[in-house]
Amino acid sequence: MAESFNHGYAGGMRKPRKYNIENTNIAMLGTDLEKAVRQQAAETEKAWQQVNTKKPTLMVWRIEQFKVVAVDKEDYGTFYDGDSYIILHSYFKDGQGALVYDIHFWIGSQSSQDEYGTAAYKTVELDDFLGGKACQYREVQDHESRRFKSIFRSIIVMEGGVKSGFRHVKPREYRNRLLHIKGKLNTIAMEVAISCDSLNAGDSFVFDAGLNLYVWHGKNAGIMEKTKAANLAQALDDSRGGMAVRHVFDQDDRDHDFFKAMGVEKGAIKDKDEGGSDAQVTIGEKRLLRLSDSGGSLQMNEVAKGDDIRRDMLNTKDVFILDDGYEIMVWVGLEASMEERRQALNRAAEYLKSNGKPMTTPISKIYEGGENELFEAAFEVGVRSGGDAEAIANASRSKAVASSATAGYKGSGGPGTVVDMDALYNQNGVDPAQWGGRGKAPSLYALELQAKKAGAYSPTSGWVSGHTQRERQLKQARIAELEQHYAANRKARSESGDTSFASVKPFINFDPKADAMKVRKAIKGLGTNEKVLIQIFSRRTIDQRAAISGAYFANFDRDLEADLRSDTGGNFRTALLALIMNESERLAYFVYKSMKGWGTEENLLIDILCTRESDEIVKIHEAYHARYPDRDLEKDITADTSGDFRRVLMAILKCNRAPVQSEVDAEAARADAEILYKAGEKKWFGTDESKFIEILSERSFPQIKAIVDAYEGMSKRSLRGALKSELSGDFKNACLAIVDYACDPSFYVCRRLYQTMKGWGTSDWALINFIVDHCERDMDLIKERYPGVVSEISSDGKPRFLGEMIRGDTGGNYRKLLLALIGEGTVA
């Protein structure tokens, strides 16, 4: 998720008029301002003609003199506080189906009324252009919605704007500035004077000197301020192509170089109280309100609050206002009246005012059928509206069929990519003669391969493989062998010492003391030599890294983890810390991070807890207590999760999963399959989730795979399809993860690696965990299989390489470290 940073900008007059946030709702139709704006707006907006309505996209426009002007892609995420912007983000929900549209209009704190009025009106106009399908969001500077922040890797706010005559900074010309990072939950960065008087002991600061970034932490700075300072330095480093060098200082007698870099004398530092208090946002109780004119006049009444709010309270004939404590979400039913639709956002603003809530609170408008995950997450049980349950269930079934027919869809278009279709044909006993893509004429690529006597072409299906038949046989045999071993005994595989598919292997002539000396030199004194850290930690195994940590303490009486924490930052630091921990410590570390602060990284929790054997869960539990002695894993998960998702995680933590046996019990598998069938698809009303929790948390992974196979003979659906249809939310995702991992572990890893980097934003913690987890075991196999998996699950059907996606979604030293770990970086 993006971090918001407010940067000062020297130059240009400030606009004299600031907006009144109470008048910035989207639905200003009928006012004099709206009429004036419409007269100035062009009858046909040329900007919308550039929107691609067939592919996922991100587009940003700025309002300039009533006109919509496109922003250069290289400036996405940078905003001027004197302007207003429109942002369009489109994507495929769950990677398939029709495009989903989010439209945000962003209002700078110094934006004029005519500009934010035009942005509001044009937002509605863009929604009309898209067929009225978009979710609309009002974004106010410093109070952006969570969804808006997730679009950009970083949000940088500069002073100035169009009317104040801002000018673009020339490439590689940087103005020195001191940025003050302040706050606990809502942390911002503000430019202050480059002076010792600007510092205080309670906050963090970043001195931006272009290609040198100096981070200084006051002795009483909070963890959020330190984290945001590191993230800001990372964002600035990334924006400069990873060329900047970062230096980190704590307030002590060794921070003279920080003041020297600023060109000021070190003097007395203000204490934390002089720096002002860190205001926190208090999260209120959830409330659901109904807006309806069914009684003859438009009325807004509270439906429920707190834990009493249920998803099935929504009615397609009305508009509902949901206050989840963070932001306001306006849900518009498909059959809502025109008056309800027109007044929806006005009433949401009235709700904020009448309840004493900040008028800067984010407001979004969501149409029935286009709900996003934040909206669904506000309900403890994500069930669908009662009246539309059957229609939605049918739509889900259609999606499941489309998902299972991915290869068939590709076949209808001919061989556009090089994929090994034999592997697809052989799945579920599919006969190529029965495949829908048969009878295709050879493509030019296929003919070229035939002419070169390279690869293998199937005249039946029209598909081509880049491998010869012999190569395919050898590859498939080796994969089958490894997969069987992988699923049967994960622990034995990791301890077997087989490094034939590892990207990180034992370093020859390893000398832990010599490496410890190099590491100490790299992080001691002014600046940090990240290149040396990458060279060492990306080319040593977990046992060798542990030996380096021991030698570091023995020779310098210092803790390596503590020094890395203080001298590195951002995702680069997180990756280094993950590398110097043993497996159980690392997993406990990421479990803790997934629940720390606002919100929960549910997918990271699922990746760790739902794919481990019971003995591994025991070790994670022990490591969690050792690292965080004042915390309790069960209590933390109970506090951060809810409903059936909480129940399945707590069941896993009981460590009742059966140990792996040499053979599966086919009869028991059929019995369990029948229990699941009766608890889900065959059950007349609802779903007995307890049966799914019991079986999926207690059976061994090979036994679960046998259950999946047995289920095929009982239902027209696969067990996976039944899970997608019968379950919902994070509970569904957890159960799917258990089944997917049991059936095909490397496919699961490839899919999740892709999901961590697809779209806008990156799930960095999950990405780091996967790469560290597999770099010493089977990374080369993962890399080989990755393009085919991505081709199968991505919306455009294009294969992508793991290294390619890492290069595109990460930056700076963090990127270099990840590439080195997968065997594609230059560390010499």
Torsions phi, psi for 330 (to 5 deg):
-100, 115
Instruction: Identify which has the larger pLDDT, 701 or 424.
Output: 701
Measure CA of the first residue to CA of the last residue in the chain; give whole Å. 33
User: Other C-beta atoms within 10 Å of 496: how many?
Assistant: 11
Which sign does the torsion angle of CA 804, 806, 809, 810 carry? negative
- Partnered with residue 6 across adjacent β-strands are 157
Rounded-to-5 percentages of helix, strand, coil across the chain: 50, 15, 40
Strand, helix or coil at 148?
helix
All structural domains of the chain: 13-158 (3.40.20.10), 177-262 (3.40.20.10), 287-387 (3.40.20.10), 406-470 (no CATH), 506-604+744-828 (1.10.220.10), 642-742 (1.10.220.10)
Return the pLDDT at 623. Answer: 92
Q: How far is CA 394 from CA 19, 389, 731, in A?
A: 47, 9, 21
- Residue 270 C-alpha from the chain's centroid: 38
pLDDT in tens, 577-605: 999 999 999 999 999 999 886 656 899 99
Assign 775 a pLDDT band (cuts: 50, 70, 90): very high
Max alpha carbon distance in the chain (Å)?
84
Dist. CA 544–CA 535, nearest whole Å: 13
Task: Quote the CA–CA distance of 218 and 6 in Å, as a whole number.
Answer: 20
pTM metric for this prediction: 0.45
Name the residue among 495, 460, 538 with its Cα closest to residue 777.
Answer: 495
The position carrying tokens 């059966």 is 658
At 44, the pLDDT band (50, 70, 90 cuts) reads low
pLDDT of 599 reads: 58
Tell whether the torsion through CA atoms of 732, 734, 739 and 741 is positive or negative. Answer: positive
Residues 137 and 329: their CA atoms lie apart, in Å, by 9
Separation of CA 456 from chain center: 39
Q: Express each pLDDT in 693-749 by its tens digit.
A: 999 999 999 999 999 989 987 888 899 999 998 899 999 999 999 999 999 898 999
Cβ atoms of 580 and 541 closer than 8 Å: no
Task: Give the helix/strand (H/E) hosting 517.
Answer: helix 512-523
Q: Chain centroid to CA 501: how far?
A: 28
Question: Sign of the C-alpha dihedral, residues 65, 70, 74, 76?
Answer: positive
Answer for the pair 620, 587: CB distance below 8 angstroms, yes or no.
Answer: yes
Q: Which residues pair with 181 in a beta bridge?
A: 189, 204
Residue whose entry in the numeric block shows the structure tokens 């309790």:
632
Give Cβ neighbours of residue 538 (< 8 Å, ≥ 6 apart).
504, 579, 817, 820, 821, 825, 827
Q: Inform me whether the pLDDT recorded for 502 exceeds 60.
A: yes
Strand bridging mode 57-64 / 67-70: antiparallel
Q: What is the pLDDT of residue 161?
A: 74
- Residue 657: pLDDT over 60: yes
| Minimum mean pLDDT range among 304-313, 333-342, 813-822 | 333-342
Task: With cut-offs at 50, 70 and 90, classify the pLDDT of residue 537.
Answer: very high
pLDDT tens digits, 206-245? 998 888 889 999 988 877 778 778 777 777 776 666 677 8
